[in-house]
Structure formats: structure tokens, C-alpha cells
Amino acid sequence: MSTSSSPCICLASASPRRRELLAGIKVGVEVRPVDLDETPFDGEAPEAYVTRLACQKASAGHQPDGLPTLGADTAVVRNGEILGKPADAEHAAAMLRSLAGGTHEVMTAVAVCGPAGLLSTCVRSRVTLREIDEAEIVAYWRTGEPADKAGGYAIQGLGAVFVTHLEGSYSAVVGLPLCETADLLSRQGVPLWNRLVS
């Protein structure tokens, strides 16, 4: 599957958000999701964790002599603890309670495997949420939005109403740091600006 008649990279992810972000900068993709065990290693630091997964996804999805392959991973981190996707409503509620009224980190790593080898970077952003009452937590879960989101909320969706401050990269919090991604793609020979003006 591709989002363009002439994809210039493979995307080792089924995330519609990452596809949309790449489409926004006119990068056509061939979607090639990979299935990996995303369990953190014992004692693994959050930045090392997301970087490892992004690199593993890019490497696993890459085919010799094929298009450059992009992998990415995002983690919501509170007090050094990685908050993944909620298992159920109770888990989602507990995560939102822990994030409400405070500031947490969002770490997104991106890796591109291609002619220049395996290149990667990790972007750290800080997000502050207002206090969230129990009725809002229940209502938010019922929308379905938190179910597949790290940390149990989506800054690009209804969850934006909880966000009072963002320090860092908005696109990275959504799932892909576009500035850094464009740089990695350029280093792999993907001519972003030529595509935009041609």
C-alpha cells in the first residue's frame, strides 16, 4: 500500500498519524509495517528504548537495494517511567490521573535505513496537562481516542483540550519529528525540496 503513485520511502509503521505527517511534507510512502516485541529491557532508559525500537523497525522493514526505510517510536515518560498504550479503561484512567496537573516528557525516535546506513535521532518534548476531573476522564475514554495512544491521550485530537503548554516539537509528540525526519531523509538521498517544487 502506498499514499502516492511514486513512493520515495518505505514506512515501517501502520500508524495513520505518521503517514499523514509525511504526506504533509509531500513524502510519498509505501507502508510496510513490521511486528516487533516492544517490551522494554530491564533497566532500559526511555531514550534508549525508543531509539532501539525505531532502529529495529527501520532495519527489519528495509530490503537490500530498496527504498530508504523509516521506523519511529514514541513514548510518554513520567518520572522516568515509560507509559505505553492503555490496556483498558481503568489503565487509561490511571495514566491520565498521573499526568493531569503536571509536566511529562514525550520522546520520539526516528531512524532511516538506506544508502548512508542506519541513521537515527531522538527528540524530547515536554507537555503540561491541566487538572482533569473524573467525569472528563470517563467521557474521554468513551470517545475511543485514548485506546491506542501512548500515555492515553492524543495531542492532535480531543486530548488537546487538556494541554496547557508544549515545549519542543508538536509533530514529535504526534508521532514523528518532521524537522529531524527531513534531515535524515536528505542524508539518505531523498530530495525533499526538489519534490516540493517539481
Place of cell 518534548: 125
Catalytic residue among 35, 37, 42, 73: 73
Rounded to an integer, what distance in angstroms lies between the CA atom of residue 149 and that of residue 140? 12
Q: Which residues on neighbouring strands pair with residue 120, listed in sequence order?
A: 111
CA distances from 122 to 5, 143, 177 (A): 30, 31, 9
Residue 141 identity (one-letter amino acid):
W
Is 35 marked active-site? no
Rounded to an integer, what distance in angstroms lies between the CA atom of residue 11 and that of residue 61? 8
Rounded to an integer, what distance in angstroms lies between the CA atom of residue 159 and that of residue 140? 8
Select from 45, 72, 76 the least CA-distant residue to 57: 72
Q: CA Rg, the chain, in Å?
A: 17
Catalytic residues: 73
